[in-house]
Structure 1
């Protein structure tokens, strides 16, 4: 039984806070943390920081690996001996996260707040009624990567975007190109594809960057807490046809106002519904549906223009 509990603590979701019954007043001291914020012990805190640093390092590697590959080829270091070193480094990045995941699980296991949460979380998987799930979401704020979607969209119609033909025939008809441009056309297309998919999407959607989410972590928690506690908002996860899980929140004002209009807010490429434009229509008495783009907040991490259109 204890081993099973430890297993759940190792692979369980990350707990952020337990929602208070009322919006807490601002802290009188800058170093004082509100009581409803989940307090990690030293073992879980250190493990989370190490895992976060590893994720950041891997994100950097994913961004610069094409440049490093070209640099290694230019220097002539793509040899068998260096490939053995690469395997060792890869093994390091596999073993170290496993070690700290186990260590983090032990830290959670000895924390009574987390053990109570994971027990409630396990029970809710067997009692999957909408009322029970919504009650659980109004009690705990946690990583929704382990949460089953409330609604699933089976199909979609993708809006077509204007495209530019890049075939060889069309390029020759539209512009006069030199021989060298014709030779480098497809290599440049490949280079552009790599640049867009490696770091272009991250520049286009900066809100999906891990460092920005870390900087706004406390503000996002306070924003969700304010919406759920003060306005009785309800969170739902929607699974789109392309497999993304979208974190949404709904404030129903129909019982307190005569306005029967629903406002759907859409934030920018670095915005979140927790700290975005939702409060403006809420204070005006409208019912509001807010959502985070893929990769933003607790929505899944696949960030593409196609996902945003869906």
Structure 2
């Protein structure tokens, strides 16, 4: 009995009991004792978070008020003590309320069995509940695979190392960079990691999880990454539903944006397309623990990929990685470490965070911004994407207001630069100054009709472009870089570049945050598949 009381006092919040089939789901109904005491706990937690973010200002206010003296500090200690007593009392009363609720006691029993026994049946029963994810047992660990510790992992290239003299001279800037990144910098890059934001969107996340679990039979799981961060995931399996979903054997792994969560994020797009889908939250987002620094992102997406392959049983070449916005960083990390995946689809993604960071901050901060980003958040997506050899599709938002350095000017959309860098990497001899100039003109127009007129003015013939590419592939291979172009004229190079750009890039007439329709989401164009179709027609 005593252990049950303790578990009721310190147990997780219970949000919902999911419905399956004819059983209707319903929100957990707390009694008055639990409901009112939990309100006190929530408010204390809210003011603590606000106080933490505003601590420099609060500290200055208290200093000016004379609280930084023995008498003032004693008053502050008494105030803090009274808050702790209030919090402790509220937690105890909440535990009494839970103890008197049969539904919560039943949940605690199932949670205890799942945590201690770790049996499939206990986990299945536990999956019927939505509760605070911290208490969820671990379903998969990064070190479950043999010799995984010896696996070589590729990371984004770091900045050029500095010599001793340069390091000493730059020490003041280094300190400023550290402060900038670890105060508001990281929170500006990944606002979804703010607990205040998570609290504000909490009801939406609960509704999103309920929809995924009840309507799509989603399976929630906790993964333990290499750095001991716990990663919150949701999997929708459609492999055995071929009569309804033709794409169920393909798994789409979704990487969300900087304020996106799988509950309400880009998972909905491949779900509408009939694919099996695996979503996950960045470290520090919603149920995931940690902070979304680049190395933590690398560890998180790696354990997600391991889970998809080893636990869920998908073949590597049946996995597509789909990312929105800054999720392209995690997606390309996974792609270059798992080069045999089926494809990569990047929606509203940029090439490098540095130009975007510079455009959002005062010009006088330029040097500090460059140093800070390169040292701590070197999100060079283009560099990582170029290390992936498979099919790629880029989706550009024609009215994107977030990844443009000049709002409303489509030529400054950093997706353009991502495409150019990719083509330069894959087809270096085609990307001459003249070809890049024509491509920039093509990318600077806001609609496909004008793009078509540019292609028409060059007398671009797709069948001719395919014949030239096929001839090269037959003599060489489809591996990159493709050194095609030495024997081609200036005009033919420009035609090929525009042809390839139209195959890699698709436009969506929308702003940055509009959900991507399933009709826009498509597997990328592939030279191998194109030639199979082309040969069949001839």
TM-score, structure 2 normalization: 0.48
> Residue 18 of structure 2 contacts residue 25 of structure 2 at CA under 8 Å; is this kept in 1?
no
Q: Give me the whole-angstrom Cα distance separating, in 1, the residues matched to 2:186 and 2:61.
A: 23
**1:100-142 CA distance string (max 9 Å, x none):** 11111112112222122112222323331234313421x1111
Q: Secondary structure at the match of 1:221?
A: helix
| TM-aligned CA distance change 1:217 to 1:68, over 3 Å | closer
**1:157-192 CA distance string (max 9 Å, x none):** 4624533767783389xxxxxxxxx7xx75664454
Of residues 127, 132, 136, the one that matches 1:147 is 136
TM-score, structure 1 normalization: 0.80
Q: Secondary structure at the match of 1:107?
A: helix
> Residue 256 of structure 2 contacts residue 266 of structure 2 at CA under 8 Å; is this kept in 1?
yes
Alignment of 1:265-280 (within 5 A): 265-280=254-269
Q: Secondary structure at the match of 1:294?
A: coil
Q: Give me the whole-angstrom Cα distance separating, in 2, the residues matched to 1:304 and 1:23.
A: 44
Q: Give me the whole-angstrom Cα distance separating, in 1, the residues matched to 2:62 and 2:172.
A: 19
Q: Secondary structure at the match of 2:226?
A: coil
Q: What RMSD over aligned residues (CA atoms) do the two structures have, in Å? A: 3.0
Q: Give me the whole-angstrom Cα distance separating, in 2, the residues matched to 1:73 and 1:188.
A: 28
Of residues 42, 55, 58, the one that matches 1:65 is 55
Q: RCO greater where, 1 or 2, for CA within 8 Å and sep 6 or more?
A: 1
Q: Give me the whole-angstrom Cα distance separating, in 2, the residues matched to 1:288 and 1:307.
A: 22
Residue in 1 that maps onto 2:239: 254
Deviation at 1:263, TM superposition (A): 0.6
Q: Give me the whole-angstrom Cα distance separating, in 2, the residues matched to 1:129 and 1:119.
A: 14
**1:240-298 CA distance string (max 9 Å, x none):** 11111001111111111253221101111111111111122122121111111122222
Q: Secondary structure at the match of 1:275?
A: coil
State yes or no: 1:5 paired with 2:4.
Answer: yes
Structure 1 unaligned spans of 5+: 25-33, 173-181
| TM-aligned CA distance change 1:302 to 1:42, over 3 Å | farther
Alignment of 1:114-133 (within 5 A): 114-133=104-123
Q: Give me the whole-angstrom Cα distance separating, in 2, the residues matched to 1:81 and 1:65.
A: 20
Deviation at 1:70, TM superposition (A): 5.2
Q: Secondary structure at the match of 2:263?
A: helix
| TM-aligned CA distance change 1:121 to 1:75, over 3 Å | closer
Q: Give me the whole-angstrom Cα distance separating, in 2, the residues matched to 1:232 and 1:111.
A: 28
Residue in 2 that maps onto 1:176: none
Residue in 1 that maps onto 2:77: 87
Structure 2 unaligned spans of 5+: 144-148, 300-538
> Residue 254 of structure 1 contacts residue 287 of structure 1 at CA under 8 Å; is this kept in 2?
yes
